[in-house]
Each structure stands twice: as C-alpha cells, then as structure tokens.
Structure 1
Amino acid sequence: MTDKIKNVFVSHHHKDDASVDGLTSMVSGKGYQLRNSSIRVKPENQKRIDNKQISDKTIARLLRMKMRWASQVIVVIGKETHQRDWVNWEIKAAHQLGKPIIGVYENGLKDQVEIPENLKKYATSIVGWKSDSVVDALEGKTQFQNPDGSPSPKIDGGNVTC
C-alpha cells in the first residue's frame, strides 16, 4: 500500500517528544506518512534558548516559516500543554495562516485535561489517541472527543476545512 503523505507541523510541549514519535508511528499503521516540520530542540540549543541567546522574534520567524510549509497543524495535548506559551502562540499563528488545527490527546490520558486557550478558540478537531480518529481528522472530518475517544461537545473552533 502506498502511504498517503501529510505535511504537518506538530505543536507540543518538548517533554512530550516521545508522543510525537508515537503519533507518527500510530498513523503509519493506517498507511499515512507524517512529514513533520516542527522544531525538536536538542539539549545544547535548549540552554541557548533558556539563556535568551536566541531572541523570541527569531524563534517566531522560524516557527512561522516551518508552519507555512505544512498543510495542517497537530497539537499534542498533554497534562502540561496548556501552560506552554509557545504552544498557545503556535496555535494562534496557525490560525492566522489559515491552517486546519487538530488537537490529539496524548496516549494514556484517561481524565479530562486543560486545553490551551487558543486550541479552544481555533481547533478544527480534537480527538483521542486512536488511529481512526486521527486519520479522520487529517482527512478533514471535524470531530470533538474526550481523551478516551468518547464524543465531546464542540468547542468554539475557528478554522474551516476547505
């Protein structure tokens, strides 16, 4: 079977890097190849960022460039994601660029977790960690779920899938 290739930007808390790999692996079992343009910061570069040796303006410019290339933005939702300023910024930037925004709860989450403010405003879909749900969202099927994959009331959602 030929893979369907999706160019995506995966917004996530860097503590959740393993979930980005897991997401890629999960959808590959359904015949999808995710080409991810997001930034995965190496420890030595994280020190430079923490010490403000790289300006926020430079980071924002790089993120926007990488997002423009992607056709969709996926937000990995973990327990601490809502506290990450850059994740919230990336969601707003994706909305401004007209990108569909898909929230995916991390694998293993059973209880409801706080969702980043901008994801509440601009999500096209928010789904549980299930390959069929993620693939449906990638294909433009709007759906809103709880972390366990059960239906959830639709949130505001600001993007329209064309």
Structure 2
Amino acid sequence: MEQEKNIFISHHHSDVEKTEKIKAILEKNGLKTKDGSINQLKNPNKATNEEYIKSLLRPKITWASTMLVLIGDETHKSDYVTWEIEYAAKEGKRIIGIYLHGEADSIVPEALKIHGDALVLWDSSSIIKAIQGEDIWNGIKRDWETERSIC
C-alpha cells in the first residue's frame, strides 16, 4: 500500500544531491513524498539576506508533516540546519536525522540531539520506520527521559 508524506529535507548545501537519493529510496519502498525543500540545483537562488531566506523556508517547514535532516560531515556547522530544526520543533513537526551513506561517524547537530524524534542510518527499512513514527535512535547517546522541548 503506497503512502504519501509531505516532507522537508534539511541539509548542508554541499549535500543537496543526496536529497534526490533519499526521495528515490522512499519511493522505491512505497512512500511517495512531496518535498517542500529548497533545492539549489533545481532552483538556483543567490539570496543572501538571512531574514528573506527564512521567510522562504518558514511556510515550507510549516506545510510539511515531517522533517528529514541529512547528516554529513559538514551538517553540524550549518546555522540554517540548526534554525530549520528549531523552527520545525516549534511547529510540532516530526524530526528525523538520517546519516548519509558512509557518514555514520559525522557529528550530529545539537538542535537534533535536543529536538529529534529519531536518528537512523542510511538504511531504507529504518528510515521508513522512523517516518512512520518509530522512535529509533542509532547514534550518540541520548537521554530519553528528558521531554522533547518546544521553543
């Protein structure tokens, strides 16, 4: 049975090509996605004003039911990824971290440690389960006793 999900994919700009790969994995496994992310390869935008960029991102994050955060070796350095995670948490979105293939030793953004619902390896079964609501945490130790905070 095919399902459909509205998603927003948060990623470091150097990992933009991986957004298409994750959508292909989801579709191959019966999860059709509508992606609200801004893809610089498909829609180049030379904007530099932070507030303007956030004004483009806010409605896309609000529209999505789930945020996927692609985690590579540069992700933790991105102020926009941090802001997107915090905004998604404030909006009550399900937030899932996904280690990029071969990058499971990458540093997890602090905002994801605080607000994330799941953290999974680049494995289709785990990714699908996390999107469907399982709280899988394959990564850094996390204190599950602490409630997820909403800004």
TM-score, normalized by length of structure 2?
0.89
Gaps of 5+ in 1: 147-151
> Secondary structure of 2:14's match?
helix
| 1:66 corresponding residue in structure 2 | 60
| 2:13 corresponding residue in structure 1 | 14
Deviation at 1:159, TM superposition (A): 6.3
Q: After superposition, give the CA deviation of every residue in 1:56-85 in whole Å (9 maximum; x if it has no partner).
A: 111111111111110011100001000011
RMSD: 2.1
Q: After superposition, give the CA deviation of every residue in 1:81-102 in whole Å (9 maximum; x if it has no partner).
A: 0001100100000011111100
| 2:148 corresponding residue in structure 1 | 158
CA contact (8 A) 1:77 1:105 kept: yes
Deviation at 1:44, TM superposition (A): 8.7
1:6-85 to structure 2, matched below 5 A, reads 6-42=5-41, 45-46=44-45, 48-49=46-47, 52=48, 55-85=49-79
How many residue pairs are counted as aligned between the two chains? 148
Matched residues in 2 for 1:44 and 1:7: separation?
A: 19
**Computing the radius of gyration over CA atoms, which structure comes out larger, 1 or 2?**
1
CA pair 64-44 structure 1, distance change in 2 beyond 3 A: closer
Counterpart of 1:65, as a letter, is P
CA contact (8 A) 1:7 1:37 kept: yes
